[in-house]
Structure 1
Amino acid sequence: MSVQIYHPFSSFNFSNSKCFLSGEQLNSEEEKIQVFPQWLMSMYGLEDKPFKLLDESIATYKDLKAPCSAVINEVHLEPLEKKIADAFNTGYEAVKSLDETSIFLWAGKLLYGILFNELQSGIKLQHTQGEEFNISQSLIHKFSHLHLMLQSLIKPISFEDFRPFSLFLFRVDNNKTEFGYRDEINTLTFALRINDFGLVICLQDNGANEMYHRDIFEKTKSETLHPIQFEEFSGRVFYSNYLFNRLPEYNILPVADEIYIESMPLRGMSSKPLFDNWVNKTYGQVLESFWKNWGFSLFEIIKDPEKPMSFLFDDKGDTINAATIELPR
C-alpha cells in the first residue's frame, strides 16, 4: 500500500480532533502533547511563564499543546524527545554528536507546534469577527513543506541528497539558569541558548544561510562564546533569513512503499542573488532586540553606519576572546 501524505493546509483543519502529524481522528480531544516538552519546562520553570502569540494574546508555556495520537507520541515522538533531552542535559559535546536531522525534526516539531497554536488562535479570532481566515500563499508553501518533512518521523520519507535546513551550534558560557529562546515563525528560524551551548537553525532554506555565513562560522565555531556573541551571531542569521528571497521547491517521488523528497535548485529561473541587500540600519535594529539584556541602543550599535558594533570581531576583523568581554552573562 502506498504511503499517504497528510496535507493539513489543503483543508485548513486545525481542530483538536485530529492528530497534528498524521491527520488521524483521535479518540478524545484530550489526546495532546506539550509543545514545549515537559523536561524543558521543568528544567527552567517555564510552565506558568507568559508566552505571547502573534495576535498579542498571552498564553503560558504549559498552555501550548498540539493534538497527537497517543500511539504516535509513544512510538515515534517520545524516543526522539528522550534522545534530545539526554544530549541537551549533558551539554555541548553531546549535542554536537547528535545527528543533525534529529535536531532539525525536534526543532521543527516544536516550531510547528507553536504555529499550530497560532493558527488555531487566528482562525478563532477571524471567525468571531465574521471574517474568513487569510494567510499568504508563500507562508502556506513553507509551512506545508515543513509539515511534510516532519512526517518522516512516522512514515518512510527520505530527503534525497540534500539538507532542508541550516544549523549553527556553539559552545556558550551561559548563565546555567537562563532559558534563552527565540523564534521567527514567518521565516521558520529558531534559536535556543541553554546549558553550555547555543544553536540556531533555519528550517526551510536548504542550507542557504549556512553558505551565506560560512566564513564567519568558520572563524567562530570552535570558540566558546560569551552570550552576547551568540546573540550577535543569531541576529545575523535571523536577519539574513529574512533577506532570503527564495521559496524552496521540491519533487515528491513515491517509490514502492517509500517517498523521496528531492530538492529543486534554489536559483531556479531567476538570476538575482538568493539574498536581498544587507542594510546595516535594519541589522542594527535586529541587534538592539537581540542585545536587550545588555541595554545597547540603536544609536550606539550603528554609531558608525558602515561598521555596526560587534562583540564577535574587532576593528581588524579578528575574533574577540569571550574572556575579555566585561559584561554580565
Structure 2
Amino acid sequence: MPVTPYEPFKGANFSNKYCFLTGATLNSPEETIQVFPQWLMSMYELEEKPFKMLDESMATYKDIKMPCSAAVNEAYLEPLENEIAQAFNSGYDALKAVDELKLFQWAGKLLYGIIFNEIQAGIRQQHAAGEEFNISQSIIHKFSNLHLMLQTLNLPIILDDFTPYSVFLFRVDNNDQEFGYRDEINTLTFSLRIKDFGLIICFQDNGSNKQYHKEILNKIGNNTLHPIQFEEFSGRVFYSAYLFNRLPEYTLLPVNEELYIEAEPLRGMSSKPLFDDWLNKIYGQVLENFWKNWGFLLLEIIKNPEEPMSFLFDADGNFINAATIALPR
C-alpha cells in the first residue's frame, strides 16, 4: 500500500482533536504531549518559567503542549525521548554517538511544537478580529517540509542521498545551571547549550550552512569551546540561515511500501549564490544579542567594521584556546 504522508498545512488543520504527526482523530483531549519534554523541564526546573511567544504573550514551558495520539507517542516518540534523554544525561560523547537524524527528529519535534502553538495563537487572534487565517506561502512551504521530514519517525520514508539539515555539535565548558535555548522559526534554526555541549540545527537547508561554515569548523576542530565562543558560532549560523535564499524543493517517489524523498538541486535555474551578501553591521547586531550575558555592545563589536570582535579567532585567524578567555561561563 502506498505511503501517504499527513499534510496539516493543506487544510490548515491545527485542531487539538487530531494528532499533530499523523492526523488521526484523538479519543480524548488528554492525548497531548509536552513540547519541552518533562525530563528536560525537570532537569532545569523550567515548568513554571516564562516562555515568550511571537505575539509577545507569555506562556510557561509546561503550558506548551501539542495533540498527539497515545499510540503514536508510545510507539515512536517515547523511545526517541528515552534515547535522547540518556545521551543528554551522559553528555557530549554520548550525544556525539547519536544518529544525526534522531537529533533532527527530536529537536524538530520540539521546534514544530512551538510552531504549532504559534499557529494556533495566530488563528485565534485572526478569528477574534473577524479575519481568515493568513500566513505567507514561503513560510507554509518551510513548515510543511519540516513536518514531512518529521514523518521519518513513523512512516517508512527514505531520504534519498541527502540530509535536509545541518547539525553542529560542540563540547562546551558550560555553567552547570544554565539552560541556553534559542530558536528562530522563520529560518527554522535552533540552538541548545546545556551540560557540557552546544547543539545547533538548521532544519531546512539541505546541509548548506554546514558547507558555508566549513572553513571555520575545520579551524575549531574538536576543541572545547567557552560559552561565548559557542554563542559567537551560533550567531554566525543564525545569521547565515537568514542569508540563505533558497526554498528547498523535494520529489516524493512511492516505491512499494516505502516513500523515497529526493532533493531538487538548490541552484535550480538561478545563477545567484545560495547566500546573500554577509554584512558585518548586521552580523554585529546578531552578536550583540547572542552575547547579552557578557554585556558587549554593538559599537564595541564592530569598532573595526572590517573585523568584528571575535573570541573564536585572534587577529591572525588562529583559534583561541577557551582556557585563555577571562570571562565568566
Unaligned residue ranges in structure 2 (runs of 5+): none
Q: Which runs of 4+ in 1 moved over 6 A?
A: none
- Secondary structure (helix, strand or coil) at the match of 2:121 reads helix
Cα distance in 2 between the residues matched to 1:22 and 1:292: 40
Aligned positions of 1:184-203 closer than 5 A: 184-203=184-203
Cα distance in 1 between the residues matched to 2:61 and 2:259: 35
Cα distance in 2 between the residues matched to 1:309 and 1:125: 42
Q: Deviations over 1:284-309 (max 9, x none)?
A: 00000000000000000000000000
Aligned to 2:227: 227
Task: State, as a whole percentage, how many aligned pairs show the same letter.
Answer: 72
Cα distance in 2 between the residues matched to 1:273 and 1:4: 34
1:169·1:221 contact (CA, 8 Å) conserved in 2? Answer: no
The answer to whether the aligner puts 1:144 opposite 2:134 as a matched pair is no
Aligned to 1:119: 119
Aligned to 2:288: 288
Cα distance in 2 between the residues matched to 1:119 and 1:29: 19
Kindly provide the amino acid, as one letter, of the partner of residue 275 in structure 2.
F
- Secondary structure (helix, strand or coil) at the match of 1:117 reads helix
Aligned to 2:134: 134
Deviates more, 1:217-226 or 1:61-70: 217-226
Aligned to 1:12: 12
Aligned to 2:240: 240
Offset, 1:152: 1.2
Cα distance in 2 between the residues matched to 1:300 and 1:141: 39
Cα distance in 2 between the residues matched to 1:123 and 1:194: 34
1:170·1:221 contact (CA, 8 Å) conserved in 2? Answer: no
- Secondary structure (helix, strand or coil) at the match of 1:168 reads strand
Offset, 1:134: 1.2
Cα distance in 2 between the residues matched to 1:268 and 1:246: 9
Cα distance in 2 between the residues matched to 1:81 and 1:143: 22
Cα distance in 1 between the residues matched to 2:306 and 2:152: 45
Kindly provide the amino acid, as one letter, of the partner of residue 287 in structure 1.
L
Q: Deviations over 1:268-288 (max 9, x none)?
A: 000000000000000000000
Aligned to 2:25: 25
Cα distance in 1 between the residues matched to 2:73 and 2:18: 13
1:162·1:263 contact (CA, 8 Å) conserved in 2? Answer: yes
- Secondary structure (helix, strand or coil) at the match of 1:56 reads coil
TM-score (norm 2): 0.99
- Secondary structure (helix, strand or coil) at the match of 1:225 reads coil
Kindly provide the amino acid, as one letter, of the partner of residue 287 in structure 2.
L
Q: Deviations over 1:60-89 (max 9, x none)?
A: 000000000000000110000011010011
Kindly provide the amino acid, as one letter, of the partner of residue 96 in structure 2.
K
Aligned positions of 1:198-217 closer than 5 A: 198-217=198-217
- Secondary structure (helix, strand or coil) at the match of 2:9 reads helix
* Count of aligned positions: 329
Cα distance in 2 between the residues matched to 1:3 and 1:263: 18
Aligned to 1:88: 88
TM-score (norm 1): 0.99
Unaligned residue ranges in structure 1 (runs of 5+): none
Offset, 1:221: 3.2
Aligned to 1:70: 70
Aligned to 1:46: 46
